[in-house]
Structure 1
Amino acid sequence: MTDIIQKNLDYKKYVVDSNLQYFKPHATQIEKTFAEEISSSLNRNSKFISPKFFYDKNGSELFEKICSTSEYYPTRTEISILKQLKNELPPFLDDDFRLVELGSGSSVKTRLLLDILTSQKNIEYLPIDISEILAESSEQLLRDYDNLTITGIIDTYEGGLEFLKTYDKKKNLIIFLGSSYGNFSPIDGYKFLEKVYSAMKPGDLFLIGLDLVKEKEILESAYDDSQKVTAKFNLNVLSRINDELDADFDLNNFLHHAIYNEKDQRIEMYLKSIHDQSVIISKSNLELKLKKDELIHTEYSHKYRLSEIHDLLDDAGFELKHTWLDEKKHFSLSLVTKI
């Protein structure tokens, strides 16, 4: 590995071999951001923890287990749509495209897109993920694809998109799957789409997965499964704060709480304090006082109607190329371009 600094972006470059390199912000920079954000978000009346902090190594592994539960339909439904794309996406790829993935995780869905690109002599893959699992999953992909080169960015989506903006002139197929966009508030979501748009060159493509409005019972069971894997996933963010910010959260003092807000078309996920308690978060210089039944918000997962999706993408400046749905119309994949 080398420690070459990526100019102007304060990244460190790690070269594993000729086919794999990745960039990562300095550790002190990551820790400072985490500590400052936690201090800000928990030191207010309506307390929250950003869902981007779910995905340390253990959080990423727990999320993969959530995707295997019988109640969690989004992953298997989206995979069924991606399989349709094997024959239906290539007509939109009129040149060699690099695959850029926001939130790559363990790269299960990535393979379905890479398989579509195998006609290219050389396939380039640029995953952007805040979790270290990116490096592990990249090594596995290289064992399975002979003509693949990977440049990973271990950072937030916004940081990775800023990196991508001036990377080179090759066309990019940017994918954002799993309905992760639904975690954003409407305002932050629109800003994120603007960020994606600004990172794209004319002719680049953007494929986004979005979960659709459906029955309340289906939605609530998907986010509060019978095996309680989602509960462990939600509580794990407190373990991460304990480990990385020297906090003393007792996970036994909290309950997982998930409800569907029909008015705002979103799942709301919280950690509920089961009694009055006090928590010290040393690296955030914070003493957190919680009352019995007080909620810490950890995630929104917005659901959409097709007309809302098309209006949203149009307002952000994109040109819609195609939208794919599953048979039950539970989930959508929309392909757009920058004009």
Structure 2
Amino acid sequence: MNKAIQKHPDYKKYVIDSKLQYFKPHASKIEKTFAEEISSSLNRESKFIVPKFFYDKKGSDLFEKICTLPEYYPTRTEIAILKKLKTELPSFIDDSFRLVELGSGASVKTRLLLDIFTQMQQTTEYFPIDISEILAESSEQLLQDYDNLRITGIIDTYEGGLEFLKNYDDKNNLILFLGSSFGNFSPTDGKIFLEKINSTMKSGDLFLIGLDLVKDSQILESAYNDKQGITAEFNLNVLSRINDELDADFNLDNFSHYSIYNKEDQRIEMYLKSLVNQSVVISKSGLLLNLEKNELIHTEHSHKFTLDQIKTLFTSTGFKINHTWLDEKTNFSLTLVSKN
């Protein structure tokens, strides 16, 4: 038996075929965690919902739509930077590396890295970690397009997937954390998360992370308040998920999407605003939620960084910066680091 399964009995293994397998925590474990976290985060004066819960199937599909919006610059900017890596990344890796990705989603940007790996290797192993069921769907599509690809996925949180990876085998990993998802962490939690990644990495492993940079506030606010209202739908969908999975009675018509840029703290702040005085029952969390008109439920922070802050962030969490790639407008960065 694989030692990862021995050490993680909460996971069930699904073998699709010789090229695709994935591991998933038992459903009771996921539901319990979701219910407990929602109960804890909404049962306090400053209410919040952790952003990882955005990404059920519908939420993941909505986020893919957000990535194509004209106002949402991060995706197309990061893709432009990733295209530079085709000639530059091979100087940092060799054919012994596996590609690991945190928050793989629909794997659109992943293909730019897989193109590099499959050119270098007879067989490429891809290890996506994602909380959403979209992982299995996108993996099957990738296998249709890459003949020499083998996929082992983890449908779990980043932390759960990293622990699984730590105990999996001794192969070198290039770990990807693309998009600007790291900005969702508070500064303290972000440092803890980077230290967690560092602790799972072997001396030969590499970590490639996308970080959104500080820029004009109008550009930032437009990116999170698109004219089509897709971001608003994405934000409100988390309430639909709570209704469906935790037997709640949120009326989405009683809430609106609210997003602003906090210049002092260098972050976009996203909320759900209660439009009326209301009470909501969340049965599986055992919670009666009372909300006043204009009360806010925080759903996401998206921190932005300067290049100096990025350097300090990695040196303080045990990393050495190997290279940083930027776009022409210096809106976004990709940084490759290793254990110091």
TM-score normalised to structure 1 length: 0.98
Structure 1 partner of 2:130: 129
Structure 2 partner of 1:270: 271
Residues 180-219 of structure 1 mapped to structure 2, 5 A cutoff: 180-219=181-220
Instruction: Deviation per CA, 1:67-118: give whole Å up to 9, x if none.
Output: 1110000000000000000001100013421000000000000000000111
- Aligned-partner residue type, residue 232 of structure 1: E
Structure 1 partner of 2:6: 7
Structure 2 partner of 1:282: 283
Report the Cα distance in structure 1 between the residues aligned to 2:299 and 2:105, rounded to whole angstroms.
Answer: 19
Report the Cα distance in structure 2 between the residues aligned to 1:131 and 1:312, rounded to whole angstroms.
Answer: 28
Structure 2 partner of 1:103: 103
Structure 1 partner of 2:242: 241
**Preserved CA contact (<8 Å) 2:95 2:121:** no
Residues 14-93 of structure 1 mapped to structure 2, 5 A cutoff: 14-93=14-93
- Aligned-partner residue type, residue 46 of structure 1: S
Instruction: Deviation per CA, 1:220-254: give whole Å up to 9, x if none.
Output: 00001000000000000000000000000000000
Report the Cα distance in structure 2 between the residues aligned to 1:39 and 1:291, rounded to whole angstroms.
Answer: 18
Report the Cα distance in structure 2 between the residues aligned to 1:96 and 1:327, rounded to whole angstroms.
Answer: 32
**Preserved CA contact (<8 Å) 1:5 1:11:** no
Report the Cα distance in structure 1 between the residues aligned to 2:7 and 2:324, rounded to whole angstroms.
Answer: 38
CA RMSD of aligned residues (A): 1.0
Structure 2 partner of 1:301: 302
Report the Cα distance in structure 1 between the residues aligned to 2:169 and 2:7, rounded to whole angstroms.
Answer: 16
Q: Which secondary structure does the structure 2 equivalent of 1:242 belong to?
A: helix
The answer to whether 1:157 aligns with 2:152 is no
**Preserved CA contact (<8 Å) 2:38 2:285:** yes
Report the Cα distance in structure 1 between the residues aligned to 2:206 and 2:226, rounded to whole angstroms.
Answer: 35
Instruction: Deviation per CA, 1:133-188: give whole Å up to 9, x if none.
Output: 00000000000000000000000000000000011011000000001000000111
TM-aligned CA deviation for residue 8 of structure 1: 2.7
Report the Cα distance in structure 1 between the residues aligned to 2:39 and 2:309, rounded to whole angstroms.
Answer: 35
Report the Cα distance in structure 2 between the residues aligned to 1:315 and 1:196, rounded to whole angstroms.
Answer: 13
Report the Cα distance in structure 1 between the residues aligned to 2:244 and 2:274, rounded to whole angstroms.
Answer: 20
User: Structure 1 residues 89-98 or 193-202, which shifts more?
Assistant: 89-98
TM-aligned CA deviation for residue 131 of structure 1: 0.1
- Aligned-partner residue type, residue 68 of structure 1: T
Report the Cα distance in structure 2 between the residues aligned to 1:148 and 1:110, rounded to whole angstroms.
Answer: 13
- Aligned-partner residue type, residue 217 of structure 1: Q
Report the Cα distance in structure 1 between the residues aligned to 2:75 and 2:315, rounded to whole angstroms.
Answer: 26
**Preserved CA contact (<8 Å) 2:51 2:299:** yes
Report the Cα distance in structure 2 between the residues aligned to 1:262 and 1:115, rounded to whole angstroms.
Answer: 38
Report the Cα distance in structure 1 between the residues aligned to 2:96 and 2:117, rounded to whole angstroms.
Answer: 8
**Preserved CA contact (<8 Å) 2:4 2:164:** no
**Preserved CA contact (<8 Å) 2:47 2:298:** yes
Q: Which secondary structure does the structure 2 equivalent of 1:209 belong to?
A: strand
- Aligned-partner residue type, residue 73 of structure 1: Y
Report the Cα distance in structure 2 between the residues aligned to 1:16 and 1:121, rounded to whole angstroms.
Answer: 22
**Preserved CA contact (<8 Å) 1:5 1:12:** no
TM-aligned CA deviation for residue 203 of structure 1: 1.1
Instruction: Deviation per CA, 1:258-304: give whole Å up to 9, x if none.
Output: 00000000000000000100000000000000000000000000000
Report the Cα distance in structure 1 between the residues aligned to 2:330 and 2:145, rounded to whole angstroms.
Answer: 33
Report the Cα distance in structure 2 between the residues aligned to 1:153 and 1:77, rounded to whole angstroms.
Answer: 28
Q: Which secondary structure does the structure 2 equivalent of 1:6 belong to?
A: helix
Structure 1 partner of 2:261: 260
Report the Cα distance in structure 1 between the residues aligned to 2:207 and 2:4, rounded to whole angstroms.
Answer: 29
The answer to whether 1:291 aligns with 2:292 is yes
Structure 2: give runs of 5+ residues left out of the alignment: none
Q: Which secondary structure does the structure 1 equivalent of 2:261 belong to?
A: strand
Structure 2 partner of 1:223: 224
**Preserved CA contact (<8 Å) 2:95 2:117:** no
Report the Cα distance in structure 1 between the residues aligned to 2:243 and 2:158, rounded to whole angstroms.
Answer: 24
TM-aligned CA deviation for residue 5 of structure 1: 9.3
User: Identity, % of aligned pairs?
Assistant: 74
Q: Which secondary structure does the structure 2 equivalent of 1:111 belong to?
A: helix
TM-aligned CA deviation for residue 338 of structure 1: 1.5
Alpha carbons of 1:103 and 1:280: their partners in 2 closer, same or farther (altered >3 Å)?
same
